[in-house]
Amino acid sequence: MTARLPSLNGLRAFEAAARHLSFTRAASELNVTQTAISHQIRRLEQELGVRLFVRQNRALELTTEARDYLPGIRAAFNDLRLATDRLLRRGNDNVLTVSTLASFAAKWLLPRLSSFQDSQPGIDVRITTSTGLVDFRDGNVDAGIRYGRGHWSGLRADWLMADEVFPVCSPALQTGQRPLRRPEDLRDHVLLHTSNTGSDDWRQWLTAAGLPSDISKQRGLTFDLIFMTVQAAIDGAGVAMGRTTYVRDDIAKGRLVVPFTIALPADAGFYLVSPDGRADPPKLAAFRDWLTASARAKT
């Protein structure tokens, strides 16, 4: 015979009180009185025939049985939240959520996104930024834009673009008291670095230019995100190692210049990734077509 499920209100009260180890904070979270929480817990204990909480020195503790019971209850409520979110998202087919790197969003995607909105006014685009890979199983993200070699198990990867790597700086820096005419002139300038992306770019470029790679270790500034490094170069703080995707617009608008002709091809590129084997919703297909066309346009 299937066991009768206990009161849902009692389970909610138990999960909140167990998480906070406080009836008062649980009551505040659930917007009820502390007395109501106490009654719901007491009723749940009667239904289960098990004691769940012990009060000791004004502190609330879980019994052994409650500690064993809690993970399953917590997982059940989490599944309910995810299922509800997926249900609501299905009913809102005009929302397209795209995950990408913060620097890519700031320096390439966002300046172009208005053209997609103009062509597809019925699609509500939401951009979320993350340095980690997207877990599409939770249903919260429709697609991701990622940098790599295009080999991600279980994902469709559509090629967008590759980068070249080369130094960039402010026009004022190039024509200042210590102008940049030859790669050797970098010895007299502050080098700007990005700690995560392309941390080896300076060393590789210097080697290709026939210079000692230890120049990359001279005084400099380091930033967490490449768009911050690019902004520092625009502000005249030093010379940055630019990547085409992140500096193309600033070069075109005269905010940055390329002082040397040597450029290296990057060993990876940008891809639009989405779950493989799923039906391709019209909103994602439209975004994919627009994105690949924009990448090919080189503007």
- For 124-150, the pLDDT digits (tens) are 898 988 777 777 776 678 899 998 888
**1 falls in which pLDDT band (50, 70, 90)?**
very low
Q: Which CATH architecture has domain 163-265?
A: 3-Layer(aba) Sandwich (3.40)
Q: Where are the domains of the chain?
A: 8-90, 95-162+268-297, 163-265
Tens of pLDDT along 3-21?
Answer: 677 888 999 999 999 988 8
Q: Are the C-beta atoms of 167 and 263 separated by less than 8 Å?
A: no
Q: The domain 95-162+268-297 belongs to what CATH superfamily?
A: Periplasmic binding protein-like II (3.40.190.10)
Residue 232 has pLDDT above 90, yes or no: yes
Q: What is the mean pLDDT of the chain?
A: 87
Q: Is the pTM of this model over 0.95?
A: no
In terms of average pLDDT, the best of 49-58, 75-84, 196-205 is 49-58
Please indicate whether the domains covering 8-90 and 95-162+268-297 agree at the CATH topology level: no
The class that CATH gives domain 8-90 is mainly alpha
What's the CA gap between 187 and 175, in Å, rounded? 16
261-284 mean pLDDT: 86
pLDDT reported for residue 268: 85
Distances (CA, A) of 165 to 30, 89, 170, 204, 208: 54, 40, 17, 10, 11
Our measurement of the distance from residue 28's CA atom to the centroid of its chain's CA atoms, rounded to an integer in Å, reads 32
